[in-house]
């Protein structure tokens, strides 16, 4: 006789339907692997009548209210696939944990905002709060950080965590199309939302990074402290200049332990061509972790999609079926350290700088002098032929694109130098910089 | 009050000492993460007096006989880091399991030969037999296959599993040195053994592949069925020809589920430049898994070394500390399917073929006709200028290197064609072929 693990499934969108697909395909396999029969017994969704990819949901108990389902006696595990940082997801997860039911969720926004509080509730109830699917889709990064690296102090973790951005940047690099054109194409194909801000502005990446940071460093979740820059200002010219200098541009989420705290940042980044992270193309995600004993680990896979995400949800359910419980963020919630934010300006690394210098004698020398005075040394320079731009009331002007790659320097020094270059009137437009990770 | 998990550590070589380093660095961290104090209480090694990297082993109970330690009441977990497929490792692991003690081992040879039997013993005792460190050093591939992919039918898994071979092939490709020269250099640096056969002959890779196959497909471990070719016949010319055609050469272990069984093979393989697996350089390892729901996952990291391997050993110990137990090969031993070997000749893929054709009119045409008659179509050809070779009793002869890349074809067809080319006397030496994986 086999025991049954009864799932209450809230949310029957892409991922919820993907989970029904998975359970329909692999019931026997899962029972063999976990020793337990895993079955959905109750569901909740906004619309009871909508088609669910051919799945007959009438055989499950229906709950109009997911909060009621979460606390119901008829389920053993609450599977939250509704999304959203507020209610009903928040109230439902709270209700499940308070009722002593393990929770599996794919909801990054919910945990990025309320992760620490929920970890405390899970500990109080002594139940699992698993969220493999909330970060990087089908990639087992949560389990790797939470379990496989148990004997490591993590030094650094970074990743490509948003498939929409990576698709856009890959297309720009490979096909030489402008940001706006590729975005429109991605929207037409359903790879980007009608309002793409959440993805291209870096906010989705930041949600995932907040969870990764807590897992890696044992700190309370702190979404608010993340420095965020999106990809909307990356031009095709940047992409081409980077390529000429041996780099490609990726949107990275980076979290590093420094002497004065943890630095979390999301921004476009130049990564060297030929590095593993540079080769992560299209909708793939990748996460690189550096542990003091394991050394560098890189995990790459599908970062989104119904089936990869469902695979991660099932992995979390299988752990519960086997009776495994690991603390939400790797250590008991009571031991999570208050997040200590490193001063952003302490970040040290190389920079790509794009200047639009006036085509006048002495400008290049002045810029070089300013950089040198700020202690910035230059690795390589690309200067292009002057072009005429502008017009209208400002009149036409001749400017020359001037691109440089710096050696490692403090961000404060680079910001200072660029402010001076701007103030001293050498550049026709605001200087732009993109960080470099030499990985 | 914290409970202590008492480890008995057999083997104080590189990995054993690495584990002592790790425990010395991270005792507090591990206790915080697992809720249990993890401590070595007993050790066994060949030589009691040898220096162990500064660790004072006199504070542990000493066992001259690891088998006695394995069954001793003074330990909770037996950690086997001695290596070797026979006794004392075999007898000690058996003794521990029969005494109802969980076992953690880094011993691939032991499990490749006795894995199924040991899985049965572990099940009978209801204890964990964990072996993350036995495959690909610090990379969490065992946990990924055993737990993260619980909801997937794996279709295929392949990897770069031997750092010595990958170091040699990377050096040949990057520096243009001959196999023999690079091997000698690797031996001088300690990256290759004095007798390198176990590594370069593909046997080490085969041991690891046997374990991966069982985890991926739920089959009994079957080392004997693996087709094995090493890298010792790869020439610098092959490396250069491959590069010209857009490929690099890696030693892969490949395991694929086919309609008529499972195909396990270890051989040098051409992989496309720019693919993730082609960029895995030096002593790094990587494993790629294709699951029917997760899609493709690639894990890359340090495949050997004291600390990365110790990191995996600790991960296994942490699971035991938390009370997690997963079946040795992902399903109970009683449910492991008998391994069903696919006919090797059914393998379908592309091939790199190197011929040394006589410099006579009509030879190329004859070869092309033979290939065509065997149903093999050609993707690309490189023919080089004729050179004079040979001498002595055979006399000088003029031959031309003739390299081709075929489209996907059955291995039986390719073998047939090459046998005909040899028999018909077109080639001055035995035709050679290397498989291509287009990944």
**Which residue of the set B108, B208, B290, B302 is catalytic?**
B208
A152 close to B (CB below 8 A): yes
* Average pLDDT score over residue span A243-268: 92
Reported as a single tens digit per residue, the pLDDT across B35-51 is 999 999 999 999 888 88
As a whole number of angstroms, the distance between CA A160 and CA A252 comes to 5
Please name which of A165, A146, A116, A139 lies closest in space to residue A333, comparing C-alpha atoms. Answer: A116
Residues on chain A touching B293 (C-beta within 8 angstroms)? 18, 21-22, 25-26, 138, 307-308, 310-311, 314
Mutating which of B5, B36, B147 best tests the A interface, going by the most A Cβ atoms within 10 A?
A: B147
Residues on chain B touching A295 (C-beta within 8 angstroms)? 138, 301-302, 305, 307-308
Residue A429 makes CB contacts below 8 A (sequence gap 6+) with A356
Phi-psi region of B161 (alpha: psi -120 to 50; beta: other; left: phi over 0): alpha
A335 close to B (CB below 8 A): yes
* Average pLDDT score over residue span A398-424: 89
B314 close to A (CB below 8 A): yes
Residue A343 above 90 pLDDT? no
Among A5-19, A185-199, A365-379, B384-398, the range scoring the smallest mean pLDDT is B384-398
Q: Which residues does residue B298 pair with via DSSP β-bridges, in sequence order?
A: A300, B288
Is residue B64 helix, strand or coil?
Answer: coil
Please name which of B309, B330, B16, B283 lies closest in space to residue B139, comparing C-alpha atoms. Answer: B309
* Average pLDDT score over residue span A334-352: 78
Residues on chain A touching B33 (C-beta within 8 angstroms)? 150, 327, 330-331
Q: How many Å lie between the alpha carbon of B285 and the closest alpha carbon of chain A?
A: 10
Q: How crowded is the C-beta side of B287, counted as CA atoms within 13 Å? A: 28
* Average pLDDT score over residue span B411-417: 89
Residue A70 makes CB contacts below 8 A (sequence gap 6+) with A8, A10, A78, A80, A92, A93, A95, A96, A99, A101
Residue B406 above 80 pLDDT? yes
Q: Do domains B141-301+336-344 and B347-436 have the same CATH topology?
A: no
Residue B208 makes CB contacts below 8 A (sequence gap 6+) with B108, B112, B134, B135, B136, B159, B161, B162, B253
Q: Which residues does residue A79 pair with via DSSP β-bridges, in sequence order?
A: A9, A104
Domain B347-436 has CATH 3.30.70.260: yes
Instruction: Give the Cβ contact number of residue A253 at 10 Å.
Output: 29
As a whole number of angstroms, the distance between CA B107 and CA B88 comes to 12
pLDDT value for A110: 98
Residue A51 makes CB contacts below 8 A (sequence gap 6+) with none
pLDDT value for A438: 73
Q: Which residues does residue A258 pair with via DSSP β-bridges, in sequence order?
A: A261
- CA distances for B110 relative to A431, B82, B107, angstroms: 61, 10, 5
Residues on chain B touching A324 (C-beta within 8 angstroms)? 322-324
Residue A320 makes CB contacts below 8 A (sequence gap 6+) with A5, A77, A102, A104, A128, A130
pLDDT value for B382: 82
Beta-carbon separation of B296 and A302 below 8 A:
yes
Is residue A242 within 8 A of residue A226, CB to CB? The reply is: no
- CA distances for B123 relative to A32, B61, B333, B339, B391, angstroms: 14, 29, 7, 19, 65
Instruction: Give the Cβ contact number of residue B90 at 10 Å.
Output: 21
Of how many residues is chain A composed? 439
- Quote the Cα angle for B76-B84-B154, to 5°: 80
Q: Tell me the CATH class for A141-302+338-344.
A: alpha beta
- The CATH number assigned to the domain with range B4-134 reads 3.40.50.720
Residues on chain B touching A331 (C-beta within 8 angstroms)? 32-33
Interface of A with B in 198-257 (CB under 8 A): 218
Please name which of A419, A386, A424, A425 lies closest in space to residue A402, comparing C-alpha atoms. Answer: A386
Reported as a single tens digit per residue, the pLDDT across B182-239 is 999 989 988 888 889 999 999 999 999 999 999 999 999 999 999 999 999 999 999 9
Is residue A164 within 8 A of residue A186, CB to CB? The reply is: yes
As a whole number of angstroms, the distance between CA B153 and CA B122 comes to 24
Please name which of A340, A384, A311 lies closest in space to residue B293, comparing C-alpha atoms. Answer: A311
Reported as a single tens digit per residue, the pLDDT across A345-360 is 556 689 999 999 988 8
Is residue B435 within 8 A of residue B267, CB to CB? The reply is: yes
Is residue A260 within 8 A of residue B270, CB to CB? The reply is: no
Q: How many Å lie between the alpha carbon of B31 and the closest alpha carbon of chain A?
A: 9
Q: Give chain B's mean pLDDT.
A: 92
- Supply the ipTM of this predicted assembly: 0.93
Reported as a single tens digit per residue, the pLDDT across A98-114 is 999 999 999 999 999 99
Q: Which residues does residue B219 pair with via DSSP β-bridges, in sequence order?
A: B337
Residue spans per domain, chain B:
4-134, 141-301+336-344, 347-436
| SS3 annotation, A270-332 | EEECCCCHHHCCCCEEEEEEEECCCEEEEEEEECCCHHHHHHHHHHHHHHHHCCCCCCCCCCC
- CA distances for A68 relative to A42, A64, A109, angstroms: 11, 8, 22
Q: What percent of chain A has pLDDT over 70?
A: 96
As a whole number of angstroms, the distance between CA B104 and CA B374 comes to 51
pLDDT value for B287: 98
Mutating which of A34, A135, A145, A148 best tests the B interface, going by the most B Cβ atoms within 10 A?
A: A148
Phi-psi region of A80 (alpha: psi -120 to 50; beta: other; left: phi over 0): beta
Confidence of residue B392 (pLDDT cuts 50, 70, 90): low
Residues on chain B touching A327 (C-beta within 8 angstroms)? 33
**Which residue of the set A90, A208, A250, A302 is catalytic?**
A208
Residue B317 above 90 pLDDT? yes
- CA distances for A105 relative to A16, A112, A159, angstroms: 11, 12, 21
Q: How many Å lie between the alpha carbon of A19 and the closest alpha carbon of chain B?
A: 10
- Cβ-based burial of A190 (10 A; exposed 0-12, middle 13-18, buried ≥19): exposed
Interface of A with B in 128-147 (CB under 8 A): 132, 138-140, 143-144, 147
Torsion angle of alpha carbons B359, B365, B366, B371, nearest 10°? 120
- Quote the Cα angle for B251-B254-B259, to 5°: 155
pLDDT value for A390: 62
Q: What percent of chain A has pLDDT over 90?
A: 74
Q: What percent of chain B has pLDDT over 70?
A: 96
Confidence of residue A239 (pLDDT cuts 50, 70, 90): very high
Is residue B154 within 8 A of residue B289, CB to CB? The reply is: yes
Q: Which tokens hold the place of A305?
A: 């999609």
Reported as a single tens digit per residue, the pLDDT across B121-166 is 999 999 999 999 999 999 999 999 999 999 999 999 999 999 999 9
Assess whether B98 carries a catalytic annotation: no
Q: Which tokens hold the place of B346?
A: 């059914």
CB pairs under 8 A between A and B: 198
Residue B86 makes CB contacts below 8 A (sequence gap 6+) with none
Among A48-62, A255-269, B384-398, the range scoring the smallest mean pLDDT is B384-398
Instruction: Name the fold adopted by B141-301+336-344.
Output: Dihydrodipicolinate Reductase; domain 2 (3.30.360)
């Amino acid at each position: 006789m086999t025991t049954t693990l009864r799932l209450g499934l809230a949310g029957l969108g892409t991922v919820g339907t993907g989970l029904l697909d998975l359970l329909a395909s692999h019931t026997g396999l899962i029972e063999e692997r976990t020793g337990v029969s895993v079955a959905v017994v109750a569901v909740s969704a906004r619309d009871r009548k909508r088609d669910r990819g051919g799945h007959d949901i009438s055989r499950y108990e229906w709950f109009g209210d997911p909060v009621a389902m979460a606390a119901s006696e008829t389920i053993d595990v609450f599977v939250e696939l509704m999304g959203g940082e507020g209610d009903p997801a928040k109230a439902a997860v709270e209700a499940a944990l308070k009722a002593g039911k393990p929770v599996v969720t794919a909801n990054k926004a919910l945990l990025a905002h309320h992760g620490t509080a929920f970890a405390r509730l899970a500990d109080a109830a002594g139940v699992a709060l698993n969220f493999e699917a909330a970060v990087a889709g089908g990639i087992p990064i949560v389990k790797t950080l939470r379990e496989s690296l148990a004997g490591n102090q993590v030094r650094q973790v970074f990743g490509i965590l948003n498939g929409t951005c990576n698709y856009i940047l890959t297309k720009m690099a490979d096909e030489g199309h402008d940001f706006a054109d590729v975005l429109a194409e991605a929207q037409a194909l359903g790879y980007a939302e009608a309002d793409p801000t959440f993805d291209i502005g870096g906010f989705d990446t930041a949600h995932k990074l907040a969870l990764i940071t807590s897992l890696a460093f044992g700190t309370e979740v702190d979404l608010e402290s993340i420095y965020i820059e999106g990809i909307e200002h990356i031009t095709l010219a940047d992409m081409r200049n980077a390529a000429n200098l041996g780099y490609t541009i990726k949107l990275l989420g980076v979290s590093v332990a420094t002497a004065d705290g943890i630095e979390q940042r999301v921004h476009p980044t130049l990564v060297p061509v030929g590095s593993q992270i540079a080769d992560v193309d299209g909708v793939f995600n990748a996460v690189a972790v550096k542990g003091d004993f394991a050394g560098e680990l890189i995990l790459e896979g599908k970062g989104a999609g119904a089936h990869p995400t469902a695979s991660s949800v099932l992995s979390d359910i299988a752990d519960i079926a086997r009776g495994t419980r690991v603390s939400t963020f790797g250590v008991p919630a009571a031991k999570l350290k208050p997040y200590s934010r490193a001063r952003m300006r302490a970040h040290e690394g190389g920079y790509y700088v794009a200047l639009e210098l006036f085509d006048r004698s002495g400008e290049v020398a002045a810029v070089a002098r300013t950089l040198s005075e700020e202690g910035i040394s230059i690795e390589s320079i690309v200067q292009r032929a002057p072009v005429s731009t502008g017009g209208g009331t400002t009149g036409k002007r001749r400017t020359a694109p001037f691109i440089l790659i710096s050696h490692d320097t403090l961000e404060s020094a680079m910001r200072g130098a660029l402010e001076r270059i701007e103030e001293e009137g050498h550049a026709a437009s605001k200087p732009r910089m993109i960080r470099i990770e030499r990985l």
